Amino acid sequence: MELMYKSTRDQGDFITSSEAIIKGLSDYGGLFVPTNIPKIHKEIDKLIDFNYKELALYILKKFLTDFKEKDLIDCIEKAYDDKFDTEEIAPVCKKGENFFLELYHGPTLAFKDMALSILPHLLKSALKKNKITKEVVILTATSGDTGKAALEGFANVEGIKIIVFFPKEGVSDIQKRQMITQKGDNTYVIGIEGNFDDAQNAVKEIFNNEVYNQLLNKNNYILSSANSINIGRLIPQIVYYFYAYLKMIKSKSIKKGEKINVVVPTGNFGNILAAYYAKEMGFPINKLICASNENNVLYDFIKTGIYDKNRSFKITSSPSMDILISSNLERLLYYISGKNEEVVLDLMNDLKVDGKYEIGDNMRIKMKDFYGGFASQLQTSNCIKEVYDNFKYVIDPHTAVAYSVYKTYKNETKDITKTVIVSTASPFKFTNSVCSSIGINVEGKDDFQLIDELSKECEINIPKGIEDLKNRKVFHKDICKKEEIKDAINRFLKV
């Protein structure tokens, strides 16, 4: 039976998974969701020996039902190949009583590789399936990691152009360098004078601008997205939660059927939403622990039911989470409202007009499996040091936020459930923060010098993806104001 997709904000037509991947965002600004979340039917015993690719095929077949199996296999084989530095793709590393799910072994050293390695191939297959000959323009705003992972995935893919906007003062030096040195005639990277939310809002407005989309159509272009608002980004993320659980059973760390917690550092809510989907499929999750940095809008929402972006925006050591508008939360609102499109539309209108909204008790009660916490800059730094001192294991600031929130959760609840801490980025992407936390002198040294310092001090190899990063040629130098984003797109597309 074919699984169809619909918008969170209206009762429009149902569309196939391939159509949803191509469109990215619905016509009225809503996000695409499956009409139901499929359940897992195979016994754990039958899944336990699956490798990452086999498990990916099993999960993707349940959601992407209009794709042929051979096409999905082809996409998976191209995505999870030797661009990852480990055959496991997503290893689970046990340190003391902590289980770290390492999602940074891809080419850009961040968890975004887990989905953005496969999205270009899914999109290309979807275009062929739907007989679309127009050139696709991927439009993406990034808080640091999505941009490079999307550029890496889509560079030189025939029939697709990719445009990435990033806050020029809101990413690490290494994240910025990764993006502006990206090769590929079909790539365009622009720094904006503003924060991630400014870029994301401008991109969404372009998607929803009917007149502008007609102009692009006349010039043989259609828009799509590589952000986690694209369902083709979200679904592949479900795989690694199942994979971690199976690895823990196989290592005898947990028993079959035993529930675990997951702690996810998140700003845009996509990564933890994938864990929610896994839970709804039948994955035995006890608590979904949502970890925020000082931009703690999600923490406040989970605690009070009030989402309020009317607050100062803080630039932190975990820039990929420096977000005040968590786009993927809309999908959760859809489910906890009983799949009520009118409720979601009203809440999103409140957010647009007033910068905030409040959910009722009937929706809050359906969030009982979520726990929200946040970590200050000092707590984040202290946790990097604590983990290194105790286990000689180096974590990045985003992972440290998750570790800190988990410590708070344990102290508050006394819950002894085994817990997976999602490690979303390599410490080599944030060398200044990491080095200063563990006692390496950073004075007078740039992030690139600190790559060598970190490698030497901690006796860990520099990842291939950034070995020669400092010496790579810069191809993208453009800067624009947030209100000039459309003009920048027009210049690149020559429309």
Residues noted as catalytic: 112
Q: How far is the CA of 420 from the CAs of 245, 321, 410, 429, in angstroms? A: 9, 19, 13, 22
Residues of 23-58 as b/e, b for ≥16 C-beta within 10 angstroms? bbbbeebbbbbbeebbeeeeeeeebeebebbebbbb
Within 10 A of 444 (CB to CB), how many other CB atoms are there?
A: 6
Measured distance CA(450)–CA(443) in Å, rounded: 10
HSE, CB side, 13 Å, CA atoms: give it for residue 326: 31
Q: How far is the CA of 302 from the CAs of 48, 255, 262, 269, 289, in angstroms? A: 34, 30, 16, 12, 10
Measured distance CA(254)–CA(245) in Å, rounded: 8
Q: How far is the CA of 176 from the CAs of 148, 407, 468, 483, in angstroms? A: 9, 31, 14, 21
Q: Nearest Cα to 34, choosing from 57, 58, 60?
A: 60
First to last CA, the chain: 42
Reading the block at residue 400, the tokens are 């440290």
Q: Which amino acid is at 185?
A: D
**CB–CB of 433/397 below 8 Å?**
yes
